[in-house]
Chain A
Amino acid sequence: MTSPAEDIQAKDISILLVEDDPPTNWRLKDALEKAGFDVVAAMTLAEARASLESRRPRVLLTDLQLPDGHGIELIRETRARLPDTEIMVISILGDEESVISAITVGATGYILKDAFPTDIAATVRELVAGHSPISASIARFIVRRTQSAAEPPPGPQLNTAKLTPREIDILWGIAKGFSYAEIASHLGMSRQTVPGHIKSIYRKLEVHTRGEAVFEALQQGLIKL
């Protein structure tokens, strides 16, 4: 996860940071600016929307709980209007509740609020390079959703029908703490391609529109007409 994408210049990467807690906001902004990124910070949903009117950030970094709304709305809107923008969610615990629900509306990455500044910058850089981060617990949550049949387990709804067996194998490896290299050698693929698979998995978990959500549900037999 830590291989830096050296070919992209940090100053070319514009970031919109949306975080309502001022110390956290400052801390994240500092960390990103020190890494050379072009950062605009917003404290509320309204500020974020206003900012998105005038500029098209390369990366959107948003908290979920905002004073005037929910980060999920912002992610969904941004995903619809600016499909090229990478979206990351800022999570306190990195728990599946917040991360997975963000992924299903279009986020492809997350950072922990208490992450070290170097890690924050590295994660953003990786994401721009096409490598989405994933934790073992997120991977665990997703693969366990691919197993369970009868009763939907608690937590956010997740449609795992599109995942290929290989992607599920990758997720199992991550969930059990195997390194990318070990997973790659075990599955007979290049280590470099593993992070790309993660982003593909996130994209597959995304529910694009309301209509598609209904279609997916029908496909899976969740809704009976």
Chain B
Amino acid sequence: MTDEAKPLSAAPVSRPRIVVSRIAQYVLLQIIIAALCILALRHPLPEPPARYLLTVFTLHDRGATREVMLPAFVPSRSGMDDPAMFTGSFGWTHSDAGGAWSVYLPRFTNGVEVIVNGTSILDSRRDPSANRPDRDTPEIAVIPASLLHDGANELAIRLYVWGPISGFLDRPFVGPDDVLRPYFEQRTLWFVTLPTVFSAWQGILAVILVVLWAVRRHEIAYGMLAGAMALGAMQTFLVTVVDQPRHPELNATLIASAPLESGFVLAFAILFFTRRWPRHAALVFVPGVLVMLAGLLGTPQLLRTVFMVLGIPAIGINLLLLAAVVAWSELRRQDVPSLLLGCAVTIVITCLAHDLLEVAQILPDRRIFFSRLSYSVLLIAIGAGLTWRFAGALNRVDGFAAHLVIQLREAEEKLRAAFAREQEQARAAELARERTRLMRDLHDGLGGQLVSIVALSERGEDTGGIGDAARAALKDLRLVIDSMDDIGGDLMLALGSWRDRVAAQLRPHGIALNWQITPPGLPVHPELRPSHVIQIVRLLDEAVTNAVKHAGARTITVRIATLNDATGPYGSITVRDDGKGFAPAAEGSGNDRAAGRGLRNMQTRAARCGATCEVVSSATGTRVRLTLPHRFPDGDIR
């Protein structure tokens, strides 16, 4: 989640004007929302028919008795032992006995006991949710038919008040249960069930946020919000049976944790929207912590006082700060989460102001508190905002992934194209090299022999010479073609063909070919190239031709073997004849000169293959020993 503030583009409109216009728009929107909110708050809640309404009561409070018109307030006090007593009457006849009758109390603070004709039929203090003055819990109780009698029946209501706010009793309704109950159910839905549902949702949200925070420890904002949600959920689900809690201090403290909760929400908003933590921001927790300390260490009365004096203002201030943070964020980045939260905060502030004015009895008071309910709107906004930002982050991840995939594909295509090009070039180069080699081989052998044929035929006499030259040309052509074949690095396969050719060459001369292979012959050289083969075979050809033409040999012995030295095995090929030999010096006879030239040729060819060629000639014969390398040299050979 790292979206930057939308850059303010270099539009023709100047930046301050944009900011002013944005502020105006935002404020106007919030005013509209607040106005709508107030309209909704002032809208009267549905009530049962007025004929079941009881308004005139006699109030006994602190020893005094007076007539009151409900709704009425009684001053705040401590303890349960001194309830205010409202006494009134309602008419009932047997003709009304079609169904059960009920007493319906739309609103009261803090607890009521309903007594019909001297018998108690309802005590709201046993209903935990009814004991929370911030929940507008209604009560309904069916009057047992046996209690009712024709004419005036007495209805007495004891109002228990335990602060911090004054006691309040709205007008009760007494009438047929089937008429009153739908109104009761509707209020219960609005003011009891709905907040419970939202609190359940807070609990779930708390778990999700804790997990989120645990996985992404640097996102402290989620930890803050998780704290707020956990507190909110606990407030709802902790049972508040008056006088019976197992750990009364802890219980009361948690119920009074709203200031701390608001601090957490504010801290979350600061971290979430501004992405930094101002130096003194921890101060937002101070009122909440103080309230909780008062709850843990002090008396319930102290807690109520501190809550009223410190807690409620802290909630208000936190809300105002929250509104400021969110408005700033909305102005800066104009995103949906900020806007949603901004509107929600406005609604909560409006409701809180409304409630405070009601408590202060400045507004015509029905004692319906909307703050807690409006908090649900804030929850919805937070949930929606979080989801929005989450989805946005997912979209960015998707976009990033898609972008990566595209880039990867492009890179792959480029690479493939480059590779294909390179391969093409390599193939072209290989073809060119092969063509060059072939040309050279044909030039060296076939070309020279054909030229020699031409020369001989023009001289018109030595027909034997023409035949020899032509045969040599054919032999060389066969060698070139043969050398093109893939022999898999086994020089023996090339020598096998060479043997056939040499045998055919020697047969008309009556020279015996003594071919000796010491198994397994020669080592296999995977690096052997056709050019090496040609050089070696030409070298051997040269040796044989020398023996045939110049030495007058009767037998030519070819010995093929694998020898070993420190570096490993290497091949050795020896061609020996039993002729008269030659003098390797330049000043010999013509034959010797030709032999000398052949000798140099052989040595050049051997060098090209990394081999060595040793020629020993004496009157009893010539021996050419070719020692192959351990490894044939790479690359082209010239």
Contacts and interface: CB of A to CB of B under 8 A. Distances in A.
B226 to A, nearest CB: 63
Interface of A: 92-95, 112, 114-116, 118-119, 135-137, 139-141, 144, 153, 174-179, 182, 186
Interface in B457-504: 470-471, 474, 477-478, 481-482, 485-488, 490, 492-493, 495-500, 504
Contacts of A140: 485, 487, 493, 496-497
Nearest to A114: B474
A135 B485 CA distance: 15
B508 interface: yes
- Identify the interface centre among A92, A119, A177: most chain B CB within 10 Å of its CB: A177
B517 interface: yes
A114 B500 CA distance: 14
Given A136-B496, A136-B499, A140-B497, A177 B517 contact: yes
B521 interface: yes
Given A114-B471, A114-B474, A137-B482, A177 B508 contact: no
Nearest to A147: B488
29 contacts: A95-B481, A114-B471, A114-B474, A116-B504, A116-B507, A116-B508, A118-B508, A135-B500, A136-B497, A136-B499, A137-B482, A137-B485, A140-B485, A140-B493, A141-B485, A144-B486, A174-B496, A175-B492, A175-B496, A176-B490, A176-B492, A176-B493, A177-B492, A177-B496, A177-B497, A177-B499, A177-B515, A178-B517, A179-B515
B515 A93 contact: no
B278 interface: no
A93 B500 contact: no
Contact of B493 (A94, A118, A175, A186): A175
Interface of B: 470-471, 474, 477-478, 481-482, 485-488, 490, 492-493, 495-500, 504, 507-508, 515, 517, 519, 521, 560
Given A93-B481, A116-B507, A135 B471 contact: no
Contacts of B477: 93
Nearest to A133: B500
B495 A176 contact: yes
A186 B495 CA distance: 19
A115 B504 contact: yes
A45 B474 CA distance: 27
A94 B504 CA distance: 13
Contact of B504 (A95, A119, A174): A119
A177 B508 CA distance: 20
A94 B495 CA distance: 16
A118 B477 CA distance: 23
Nearest to A135: B500
A174 B500 CA distance: 10
B497 A135 contact: yes
B96 to A, nearest CB: 97
Given A115-B504, A137-B482, A182-B517, 10 more contacts: A95-B481, A136-B498, A140-B497, A153-B486, A175-B493, A176-B493, A177-B495, A177-B498, A177-B517, A178-B496
Contacts of B496: 136-137, 139-140, 174-178
Contacts of B497: 135-137, 140, 177
B355 to A, nearest CB: 86
Nearest to B477: A93
Contacts of A177: 492, 495-499, 515, 517, 560
A137 B474 contact: no
B500 A136 contact: yes
A95 B501 CA distance: 13
B227 to A, nearest CB: 68
A44 to B, nearest CB: 25
A146 to B, nearest CB: 13
